[in-house]
Amino acid sequence: MTITALTADVLVVGFGKGGKTAAHVLADAGKRVVLIERSENMYGGTCPNIGCVPTKMLVHYSGAKRLADDAQEYFARSTAGVRALTAAFRAGNFEALDGKDTATVLTGTASFVDPHTVAVGEGDDRITVTAPTILVNTGSEPVLPAIPGLAASPHLVTSTELTKTSNLPERLVVLGGGYQGLEFAAIYRHFGTHVTVLEAADRLLPREDEDIAEAVAEILRGDGVTIVTGAKVTEVRDNGATSTVVYEKDGEPQSVEASAVLPATGRRAVTAGLRLDAAGVRTTPGGAIEVDEYLRTSQPDIYALGDVNGGEQFTYISLDDARIVLDQLLGRGKRTTTDRRAVPHTLFVTPPLATVGLTETQARAQGRNIKVAREKVADIIAMPRAYTVEETRGVMKFIVDADTDLILGAALLSIDAQEVINTVALAMRHNITATELRDAIYTHPSTTEAFNEVFDKVVSA
């Protein structure tokens, strides 16, 4: 018997972090849950398939490459390892949810019929799912800039393709010097590719303090990445085996050859084809689903989680979105997006840059009375771990309220920064002072013990 209609307590559209987390908890609570994912290659969402997991695995592999390794062979082995892991994660994500007695996973393209009904598939394969509560977690996709010749270029590559290909490009040109662009630039340079980053702004990472951004640029240049700022890309010309990326710098036309061109100029919410208008769900001018602080859409029984709601595009934000929605559905309904404080971020170059809170520039613009503690990693005597792992590049910087001794922000460009920043963020959330962090006892040798020294290195006030 062919099933053409299903009913559920909760319908989840999209297998991202927020959606799958909510689906698991709701199913375990006895709710009948149906989750729809448009592609069998995306069970588990962006992170384990084409985002965090494969890119950070490539960071690891590229950093482990030896001079004696053949670049092409080593790269092919590395990406094969990535594909094997992501396939295992994908299967595990599917089985973990679909294997529950109260959960069903459907694969196909979803579109709203009305505020409580979604259709999956077409023709004889069409199934309708009706539920009183619907969660939309369809994520985001790369934005392709309107550069003449780019869309038609045979050398255009996406971040997804770069995590799955077995062929190491000889020359990679990255359009954009943000988080994604710099991560891929660092990864592919360490694999042996000649990498050029073209950034339209006057410097990399404009949201960070200039000294931190320059420290990142210095490390990348030291690794052999060519960085061109103030570069306005005007055209991509196909030359057969390569493409020519034409740009203007200081009003003068210049160009660089590429065997692969990666646009890393932002992402947008995936809402096309969902027929949100049929459900009465409003979107923002940028195309994201409009939500309130409880992640409710213009239809109170439809919620939007993760990148699709226009918030920060990080897996852990999608996870927190799930907590907010679950509190609405199973809890007290009190948790909101306004509860978030001191949310850390990490740029996985080598060494990583991890940040949280205010930059020095932001703090001064707000008129704060601040102290700034700053020290180069190579000069931190209390942090021998940097020498034991032979990675002494980088800097640690903390912004401290001069009146209360509370930490306002931090930028850690160092080994283990992606871990250490979580301690700083926790301290900020619980009003632990800089002095308390400075005088605490840490394991040795560790990166965290740098706190014992850096908080005494006040360079400005």
What is the Cα–Cα distance from 214 to 265, expressed in whole angstroms? Answer: 20
pLDDT value at position 1? Answer: 44
DSSP string, 204-254: S-TTS-HHHHHHHHHHHHHTT-EEEESEEEEEEEE-SSSEEEEEEETTEEE
pLDDT value at position 384? Answer: 94
pLDDT value at position 41? Answer: 84
Q: Provide the CATH number for the domain formed by 159-265 in this structure.
A: 3.50.50.60
Confidence class for position 458, pLDDT limits 50, 70, 90: confident
Q: Are 302 and 282 in contact (CB under 8 A)?
A: no
Picking from 14-18, 66-70, 174-178, 206-210, which range would have the lowest pLDDT averaged per residue? 66-70
Q: Which CATH number fits domain 345-460: 3.30.9.10, 3.30.70.1290, 3.30.390.30, 3.40.50.2300?
A: 3.30.390.30
pLDDT value at position 3? Answer: 67
Q: What percent of the chain lies above the pLDDT cut of 90?
A: 88
Q: Is the pLDDT of residue 460 over 90?
A: no
Average pLDDT, integer, range 206-233: 97
Q: What percent of the chain lies above the pLDDT cut of 70?
A: 99
Average pLDDT, integer, range 294-304: 97
What is the Cα–Cα distance from 146 to 433, expressed in whole angstroms? Answer: 48
Confidence class for position 50, pLDDT limits 50, 70, 90: confident
Q: What stretch(es) of the chain map to CATH 3.30.390.30? A: 345-460
Average pLDDT, integer, range 4-10: 94
pLDDT in tens, 304-350: 999 999 998 889 999 999 999 999 999 999 999 999 999 999 999 99
Rg (C-alpha) for the chain, rounded Å, is 24
pLDDT value at position 439? Answer: 95
Nearest to 214 by CA among 201, 223, 226, 205: 205
In this structure, the strands spanning 33-37 and 10-13 are parallel
* Chain mean position to CA 420: 18
Residues 6 or more apart whose Cβ sits within 8 Å of residue 43: 15, 37, 49, 90, 91, 93, 94, 105
Active-site annotation, residues: 444
Average pLDDT, integer, range 154-167: 91
DSSP string, 268-325: EE--TTS-HHHHT--B-TTSPBP--TT-B-SSTTEEE-GGGGTS---HHHHHHHHHHH
CATH second-level architecture of 5-141+268-339?
A: 3-Layer(bba) Sandwich (3.50)
pLDDT value at position 164? Answer: 86
Average pLDDT, integer, range 177-201: 96
- To 10 degrees, the CA torsion angle through 89, 91, 96, 101? 170
pTM above 0.85, yes or no: yes
Q: Are 236 and 187 in contact (CB under 8 A)?
A: no
Q: What stretch(es) of the chain map to CATH 3.50.50.60? A: 5-141+268-339, 159-265
Residues 6 or more apart whose Cβ sits within 8 Å of residue 405: 433, 434, 435
Picking from 2-11, 139-148, 249-258, which range would have the lowest pLDDT averaged per residue? 2-11
Q: Is the pLDDT of residue 424 over 70?
A: yes
Cα-based distances in Å from 164 to 50, 159, 260, 331: 8, 9, 14, 41
pLDDT value at position 459? Answer: 67
Tokens 């991509």 belong to which residue? 236
Beta bridge partners of 237: 244
pLDDT value at position 306? Answer: 95
Q: Indicate if the alpha-carbon torsion angle 190, 191, 196, 202 is positive or negative.
A: negative
